[in-house]
Structure 1
């Protein structure tokens, strides 16, 4: 095997990998926190942005607000605003965690600066793209508030979160590739067979997440109509979106099982890809269980954010598997100067 010599200081590479890994963890936690906001109906807990009820630190009691606060914020958002300290602080914590995540992404951007002095400039530009996308995500979050949780804005907000995760995963995989922690190389014939599976699985999972977002939006509407006392009827009142989401889960199951079986045959029960398949299958089992409970046990709020976060992690694993399967083409051809391992 030809010895690979990193073109950049090993400490800089290790620092980037460490900070990028922590950034990815905070992104998944932010998705979980965002799910909690949706599950608790706290999306309008702060009716303005970036402040909350006109203050950087939100009130804890209605007495801290002006008597006509409903007129002030209701007129702004074209709807009546009812102060609820629990929902207000859930949304506020969500915003703080968003800032915290943005800080980690900025650190990752700083860690990528040394790559500008090497022939791996793309790692810096990937990190810069993630940073700019997070800034845009913050602006999009303000539009979600100003449009009173408009369904299209919420869906765009979720899709952008997935894109940011994919960009950082790509950058992390690329750094790992040049850091001699090689992605498993796959023969061209095997790659072609499995590439269709992995691309199909990613597309199916993405569509399922989007449909799930539509179901969540439908539940919000039903909840506003029936109230929390009618929680047991929420699912049946959502209508077609829920049944499409439930039926589409069969395609998700088949695509994940097919992809996993193909990779296990390829790896012979060895290697990182094989371990990722086991993790993916375990998460899928948990996803199915939470979905069943949500559908038949009156949509317990505690499981809604878990269900969403599991879906995003499964989608992320599928993307990483795509990178593994296409490592020769994605990394070696673009990273000239690094000899291929024999």
Structure 2
């Protein structure tokens, strides 16, 4: 039987894991804001910013020849912009804070699950390793002056970290979802995996389109923003058209899944959210295409896409709740006593 102290440790771990997941989504949103405002090179070096631990608030705090010093980082003809510098720096601080959250999640997993469910500990440690690699990769993005393929890899790794943390958080609550486990037809399992893969591809393709936006914006400037879309080329139109394929693949699993599961539960609620979020996602894409890519729509568009992917992964995990359940939870009486908040 599980002791009261261990149940308390598990409850604390679940809350911390949920907070960590939410903070990573926030970081993705902030990262989108950094890109949409052109703040990616607001700090031309890493981990310091203009050689300082606390960034400058005025150009007078920089050497007179700062453009020459950082010319190899794209500053040859760029004027210091305090807003862009602090936007990028706050993004870095949030990333560091999330690194602390993930480390605390790993530490809490050892205390709560080392004897009871070691895969939770293992995947928590994996998340910690991945966030460290993500920090190193962020430094490489800066040193490469925002290389397109590195930005795409940076985005992919962020999504992987979200997936690992969602797995950890959901596995820690699998004993709750095992009761009245949601069922689905074989075709639903097949299409939810296919649609998730297509959505991931669409997100990564979107980062490539975003790179093209940066190039066009640099060439035309803000004064000709209305011309940006027409200059984006074939990848933009592929990205836009492919959204219909993504939508069709989503409906292929959502509609039969909701018809088969009329009772309200975590999985059906998430599936319903996916429908709404996809419609909003398409709307923000249309706004960008027809209204000159407003800066506010870009981070919202990206965060919604990653949220949809995260919700789908949660549905998949809930469908496999029995397989996530370790042997130590097989005792029904023990599961009933583990009364903890759900995701």
TM value normalised by structure 1: 0.92
Residue 80 (structure 2) aligns with? 83
Residue 330 (structure 2) aligns with? 339
Deviation (angstroms), 1:259? 1.5
Residue 144 (structure 2) aligns with? 147
Is residue 182 from structure 1 mapped to residue 173 from structure 2 by the alignment?
no
Residue 167 (structure 1) aligns with? 164
Quick one: distance in 2 between partners of 1:337 and 1:12? 16
Deviation (angstroms), 1:141? 0.3
Quick one: distance in 1 between partners of 2:13 and 2:48? 33
Is residue 127 from structure 1 mapped to residue 124 from structure 2 by the alignment?
yes
Residue 311 (structure 1) aligns with? 305
State the Cα deviation string for residues 148-168 of structure 1 (Å, max 9, x = none). Answer: 000010000000000000000
SS in 2 for 1:298: coil
The answer as to whether partners of 1:48 and 1:145 remain within 8 angstroms in 2 is yes
Q: CA RMSD in A?
A: 1.9
Deviation (angstroms), 1:268? 2.1
1:33 pairs, out of 30, 33, 56, with 30
Quick one: distance in 2 between partners of 1:106 and 1:184? 34
Residue 267 (structure 2) aligns with? 273
Q: How many residues align?
A: 331
Quick one: distance in 2 between partners of 1:261 and 1:314? 16
State the Cα deviation string for residues 225-275 of structure 1 (Å, max 9, x = none). Answer: 111111111111011111011111001111222221121122124322111
Quick one: distance in 1 between partners of 2:271 and 2:316? 12
Deviation (angstroms), 1:100? 1.5
Matches within 5 A, 1:196-215: 196-215=190-209
Runs of 4+ in 1 over 6 A off after TM superposition: none
The answer as to whether partners of 2:68 and 2:75 remain within 8 angstroms in 1 is no
Deviation (angstroms), 1:104? 1.3
**Structure 1: 5+ residue stretches without partners:** none
Residue 245 (structure 2) aligns with? 251
Quick one: distance in 1 between partners of 2:155 and 2:68? 31
Quick one: distance in 2 between partners of 1:225 and 1:183? 58
SS in 2 for 1:301: coil
1:322 pairs, out of 294, 316, 319, with 316
